[in-house]
Amino acid sequence: MRKFFTSLFAFVLTGFAGGLVAQWLAVAADAQEEYILVFMASMLVTFVVTFVFFVAQFMNDPLAAVATSGKWLLIVFLVLIALLIALILYTDSSAAVVKKDMPLVIGLALPGLVTIITQWLFVRWRVRRGWPQHR
């Protein structure tokens, strides 16, 4: 039951943190309806990350599993953001279009990074508290 509540609290916490960063970026960029995509992506990242860390808590060594999951989630997320940037640079050669798209890319990247890091820190803290000290 502890693992379920850890994941539930982590979901709420990281959903709030990612949404707060997305909201701040939307206000800073004076965004309109294009930031709906950012909020949807932020929630998608929150769902995926919560599921991955929930499963990691059931491994034989949950501390190592949470650490490995966090590392790989960050790597995969950063590779996806790099591919998105490469796609924008490849398809739109004009500097004005690239400049216009960068706030949206930043809006996709920062809330996701905040979500992954916050979830990793919270779950790691909760797993460490419940893990026996003699191991």
pLDDT at position 47 is 96
Q: What is the pTM of this model?
A: 0.87
pLDDT at position 123 is 94
Pick the closest to residue 65 from 23, 127, 135, 16 (CA basis). Answer: 127
Distance CA 116, CA 30 (A): 25
DSSP at 88: H
Could you identify the residue written with the tokens 């803290």?
Answer: 125
Amino acid occupying residue 124: R
Pick the closest to residue 19 from 116, 82, 105, 111 (CA basis). Answer: 111
Tokens read off for 28: 């800073």
Return the domain boundaries, the chain: 2-130
- pLDDT, averaged per 10 consecutive residues of the chain (135 residues), comes to 89 94 90 85 95 94 94 96 88 71 88 95 89 58
Pick the closest to residue 72 from 56, 88, 96 (CA basis). Answer: 56
Name residues whose C-beta falls within 8 Å of residue 3's C-beta, 6 or more positions apart in sequence. 54, 57, 58
